[in-house]
């Protein structure tokens, strides 16, 4: 399965929720990084880490698909 088909395939409910959480983390991290006030360096650094982590969680969750063969005992050889 290529990346385009995988991205368009149905996503399990758990990963839909996880994708939404990831998007929220990206938004929070972005808001911290673009704050119009001067923030301590540690807060800005953490904001960057939160944004990156949210992006990774979102990308992985989007590319996770439901298996056509959910039973591991029934392998297609």
**Model confidence pLDDT, tens digit, residues 45-71:** 999 999 999 999 999 998 888 776 555
| DSSP letters for 7-66 | HHS---HHHHHHHHHHHHHHHHHHHHHT-SS---HHHHHHHHHHHHHHHHHHHHHHT---
Q: Which of 13, 36, 26, 27 is nearest to 59 (CA)?
A: 26
Which pTM was predicted? Answer: 0.75
**Model confidence pLDDT, tens digit, residues 2-47:** 888 887 888 889 999 999 999 999 999 999 999 989 999 999 999 9
């Amino acid at each position: 399965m290529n990346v385009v088909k995988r991205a368009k395939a149905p996503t399990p409910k758990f990963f839909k929720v996880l994708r939404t959480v990831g998007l929220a983390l990206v938004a929070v991290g972005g808001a911290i990084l673009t704050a119009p006030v001067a923030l301590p360096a540690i807060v800005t650094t953490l904001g960057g880490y939160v944004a990156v982590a949210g992006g990774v969680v979102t990308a992985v969750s989007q590319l996770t698909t439901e298996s056509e063969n959910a039973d591991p005992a029934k392998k297609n050889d």
